[in-house]
């Protein structure tokens, strides 16, 4: 019967021709057929190794049940003629012990069931397995970790395995000769991913021919990769284990038996169970058509205390340094900080732990910060007017002094503190208007709005007219704040300067809300973001020009609050705006309406000045 492609690849001996038995025909000795070599107990995979060498002294013991179908056959033209070993059920009893960075282990296989029909290969007869319950070759192992630790991206170990000739050759469980294998082990992972590898050489004293195949010394290799699930308690993934004869047939198909396996392991407390299925991936000796594995092992759960300070590593914030246990997980297990005398870095007599300004000498009343009686942000020792809130300047003689009318003359020198005026050599007239009916600092001959306090402008039709007006709960922008295109970049700051001056003139306005609005051209989220950015830009400009941040709040409404329908470009232009609303004021509050930010009374019009 023709075999499937997979079954053909899994044949244990390819292109071996059977010959009929003859009288006096030689009978060959059996050899160790099983190519599956279980990992040391506690290693994590079936044949590879996670290199988990944690723990002071940590033992592990377990058994792997291993069933294989047709590991040794005689075939002709891809058809099995006879199965020398048809079914074999073996058990690998193993134990290991980890101590610091070293591990020792042993594994002893024995058969539960072994049966076949026997056959002749190249004139040599091979009998079926002689009996059940036969021992295999006892394997001893020693490994030493060279690099990395468990769960590092890369960890490396080196070791040696030795197989003692304790196995039954008649049951195909042993070679009857010593085998040795030095190897390198590689393991690691990141997150849920895990991998392992093995590379080495194996000395094998037997070099018998089995038809066109042979026994002999080999290069060995293995690779696994998978996923750690359920918090690392489940490991799932494929494994490959193989070898290749160190002779002229190196890396050829019949000289390179390879086993493939898909398995899973689950850990619960001190127990770990596993299961897997596999097949031979090449026609070399000892590659079965089918394999099934079950394992169970015991190893005490790992509870580490690397620094031996009595605080287990999983609760130790400093696992490599002896410390003391505390209720704070950020410091438990760490050495207590050295006891240092209380410090006073700025020498003001207030300890740093109680000093709000530990690097600047201050006063107890001000929690270690310099005194600032008028709370204008300028310490008294730098404030030329410590009792009156003012603004910082580069001139030590005026820094911190107020200028209520914003005419550039500080109040202490200004004869007209609430009216913008002109500098004069006469102290009685210094800061007072001259030929300026509305007292906005612009002479009537140049003032387009001579009866309404306004702002200077290079546009003669706007010079002296207000850019902003103070209404009830509202600072109206007569001239809007302009931005460059569809950005939050301010294009011109004349209106903003008027707003800043108004807020300086009216300290009773404790907080304003700066609102950004857009039209409906852009998607809602983009419009909302642009409106937020523009309101924030206005807030930042005012703060950088002397208005306290605590007096400013910025919000953006996008296009949700239009003034008019967005049916034309003119209407959309009206809807793209900044509005400023008064949120909080002192009890006396701002007047109901004050054009131009001046404290005068109401004005019904802009007067008989030039047309705007």
Q: Which DSSP string do the residues of 396-458 spell out, in sequence order?
A: TTTTTB--TT-SSS-GGG-SSTTSB-B--SSTTTTTB-SS-TT-BSS-GGG-SSTTS--B--S
189 and 314 in a single domain? The answer is: no
Q: Is 582 helix (H, G, I), strand (E, B) or coil?
A: strand
Integer Cα distance of 373 and 584 in angstroms:
23
Q: Is residue 303 part of a domain?
A: no
DSSP 8-state secondary structure symbol assigned to residue 459: S
Give domain status of residue 376, yes or no: no
Beta-carbon count within 10 A of 134 CB: 22
Residue ranges with strand state E in 253-382: 258-268, 271-280, 290-298
Phi-psi region of 497 (alpha: psi -120 to 50; beta: other; left: phi over 0): alpha
Taking the C-alpha atoms of residue 76 and residue 574, their distance in angstroms, rounded to an integer, is 93
Percent of the chain with pLDDT over 90: 48
Q: Tell me whether strands 258-268 and 271-280 are parallel, antiparallel or unpaired.
A: antiparallel
Least confident of 326-330, 406-410, 502-506: 406-410
What Rg, from alpha-carbon coordinates, does the chain have?
46
For residue 598, is pLDDT > 50? no
Rounded Cα distance, 245 and 505, in Å: 96
Q: Are 39 and 118 part of one and the same domain?
A: yes
Residues 72 and 107 in one domain: yes
Residue 23 sits in the same domain as residue 52: yes
Q: What is the pLDDT of residue 340?
A: 61
Polymer length in residues for the chain: 612
Half-sphere exposure of 295 (CA within 13 A, CB side): 33
Looking at the structure, tell me whether residues 274 and 318 fall in a common domain: no
Q: Are 404 and 411 in contact (CB under 8 A)?
A: yes
Q: Give the domain range for residue 334.
A: 310-339
pLDDT at 90: 96
| pLDDT at residue 394, rounded to an integer | 78
The pTM of the whole model exceeds 0.75: no
Residue 236 lies in a domain: yes
**Residues 93 and 45 grouped into a single domain:** yes
4 CB-near residues (< 8 Å, 6+ apart): none
Average pLDDT over the chain, rounded to whole?
A: 84
Instruction: From 157, 135, 138, select the one nearest 147 (Cα to Cα).
Output: 157
**Burial profile 218-238: b = 16 or more Cβ within 10 angstroms, e = fewer:** bbbbbbbebebeeeeeebebe
Q: Tell me, yes or no, whether 48 lies in a domain.
A: yes
C-alpha of 266 from chain center: 27
Of 268-277, 435-444, 452-461, which gets the smallest average pLDDT? 435-444
Four-residue CA torsion sign, 135, 138, 139, 142: positive
If asked whether residues 198 and 320 sit together in one domain, one would say no
80 and 208 in a single domain? The answer is yes
Classify residue 432: in a domain, yes or no. Answer: no
Find, among 55, 142, 132, 58, the residue nearest to 107 by Cα.
Answer: 142
Of the candidates 298, 324, 352, which is a domain's last residue?
A: 298
Given 233, 267, 298, which residue is the final one in a domain?
A: 298
Examine residue 448 and state whether it is found in any structural domain, yes or no.
Answer: no
What are the φ and ψ backbone dihedral angles of 569, each rounded to 5 degrees? -65, -35
- Dump the DSSP string for 475-533: EEESSPPPBSTTSS-B---HHHHHHHHHHHH-TTEEEEEEEEE--SSS-HHHHHHHHHH
- Cβ atoms of 338 and 325 within 8 Å: the answer is no
Q: What are phi and psi of 193, to 5 degrees?
A: -85, 140
Secondary structure class of 600 (helix, strand, coil): coil
Instruction: Give 610: exposed, middle or buried? Use CB within 10 Å, 0-12, 13-18, 19+.
Output: middle
Q: Give residue 25's pLDDT band: very low, low, confident or very high (50, 70, 90).
A: low
Q: Is residue 390 part of a domain?
A: no
Residue 249's CATH number: 2.40.160.40
pLDDT at 70: 94
pLDDT level of residue 39 (50, 70, 90 thresholds)? very high
In the numeric block, which tokens belong to residue 429?
A: 């007239």
What pLDDT was estimated at residue 339?
A: 63
> Is the model's pLDDT at 588 over the cut of 80?
no
Query: What digits encode the pLDDT tens for the residues 477-525?
Result: 988 999 998 899 999 888 999 899 889 888 999 999 999 999 999 999 9
Number of neighbours of residue 282 by Cβ within 10 angstroms: 21
Q: What is the CATH number of the domain that holds 547?
A: 3.30.1330.60
Examine residue 252 and state whether it is found in any structural domain, yes or no: yes
Are residue 329 and residue 263 in the same domain, yes or no?
no
Domain count, the chain: 3
Q: Are residues 486 and 474 in contact, defined by beta-carbon separation less than 8 angstroms?
A: no
Same domain, 206 and 317: no
Q: Based on the domain organization, do 29 and 133 belong to the same domain?
A: yes
- Name the burial class of residue 26, with classes exposed (0-12), middle (13-18) and buried (19+) by CB atoms within 10 angstroms of its CB: exposed
Q: Are 90 and 112 in contact (CB under 8 A)?
A: yes
Q: Are residues 272 and 148 in the same domain?
A: yes
pLDDT band of 476, cuts 50, 70, 90: very high
Instruction: Pick the most confident of 81-85, 131-135, 150-154, 233-237.
Output: 233-237
């Amino acid at each position: 019967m023709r075999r499937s492609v997979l079954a053909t690849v899994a044949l244990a001996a390819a292109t071996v021709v059977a010959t009929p038995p003859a009288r006096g025909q030689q009978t060959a000795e059996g050899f160790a057929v099983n190519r599956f070599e279980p990992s040391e107990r506690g290693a994590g995979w079936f044949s590879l190794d996670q290199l988990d060498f944690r723990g002071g002294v940590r033992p592990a013991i377990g058994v792997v049940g291993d069933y294989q179908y047709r590991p040794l056959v005689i075939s002709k033209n891809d058809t099995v003629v006879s199965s020398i070993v048809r079914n074999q059920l073996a058990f690998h009893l193993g134990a290991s012990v980890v101590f610091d960075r070293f591990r020792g282990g042993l594994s002893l296989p024995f058969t539960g069931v072994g049966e076949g029909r026997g056959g002749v290969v190249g004139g040599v007869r091979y009998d079926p397995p002689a009996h059940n319950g036969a021992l295999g070759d006892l394997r001893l192992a020693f490994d030493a970790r060279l690099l990395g630790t468990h769960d590092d991206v890369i960890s490396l170990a080196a070791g040696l395995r030795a197989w003692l000739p304790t196995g039954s050759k008649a049951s195909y469980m042993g070679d009857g000769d010593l085998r040795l294998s030095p190897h390198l082990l590689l393991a690691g992972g990141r997150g849920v991913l895990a991998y392992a590898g093995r590379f080495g050489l194996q000395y094998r004293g037997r070099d018998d021919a089995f038809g066109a195949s042979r026994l002999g010394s080999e290069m060995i290799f293995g690779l696994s990769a998978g996923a750690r699930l359920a918090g690392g308690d489940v490991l799932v993934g494929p494994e490959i284990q193989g070898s290749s004869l160190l002779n002229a047939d190196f890396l050829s198909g019949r000289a390179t038996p390879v086993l493939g396996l898909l398995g899973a392991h689950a850990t619960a407390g001190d127990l770990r169970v596993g299961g897997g299925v596999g097949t031979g991936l090449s026609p070399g000796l000892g590659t079965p058509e089918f394999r099934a594995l079950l394992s169970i092992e015991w190893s005490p759960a790992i509870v580490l205390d690397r620094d031996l300070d009595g605080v287990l590593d999983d609760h130790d914030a400093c696992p490599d340094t002896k410390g003391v246990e505390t209720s704070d997980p950020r410091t438990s297990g760490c050495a207590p900080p050295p006891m240092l005398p209380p410090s006073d870095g700025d020498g003001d007599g207030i300890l740093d732990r109680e000093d709000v300004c530990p690097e600047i000498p201050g006063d107890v009343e001000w929690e270690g910060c310099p005194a600032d009686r008028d709370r204008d942000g300028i310490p008294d020792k730098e404030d030329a007017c410590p009792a009156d809130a003012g603004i910082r300047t580069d001139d030590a003689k005026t820094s911190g002094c107020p200028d209520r009318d914003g005419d550039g003359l500080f109040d202490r020198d200004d004869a007209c503190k609430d009216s913008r005026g002109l500098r004069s050599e006469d102290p009685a007239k210094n800061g007072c208007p001259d030929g300026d009916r509305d007292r906005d600092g612009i002479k009537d001959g140049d003032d387009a709005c001579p009866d309404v306090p306004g702002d200077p402008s290079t546009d003669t039709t706007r010079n002296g007219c207000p850019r902003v007006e103070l209404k009830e709960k509202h600072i109206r922008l007569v001239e809007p704040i302009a931005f460059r295109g569809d950005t939050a970049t301010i294009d011109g700051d004349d209106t903003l300067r008027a707003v800043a001056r108004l807020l300086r003139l009216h300290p009773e306005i404790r907080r304003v809300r700066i609102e950004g609005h857009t039209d409906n051209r852009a998607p809602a989220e983009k419009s909302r973001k642009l409106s937020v950015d523009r309101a924030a830009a206005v807030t930042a400009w005012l703060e950088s020009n002397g208005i306290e941040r605590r007096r400013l709040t910025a919000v953006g409404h996008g296009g949700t609050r239009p003034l008019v329908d967005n049916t034309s470009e003119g209407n959309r232009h009206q809807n793209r705006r900044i509005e400023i609303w008064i949120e909080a004021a002192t009890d006396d509050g701002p007047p109901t309406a004050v054009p131009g930010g001046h404290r005068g009374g109401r004005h019904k019009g802009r007067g008989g000045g030039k047309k705007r």
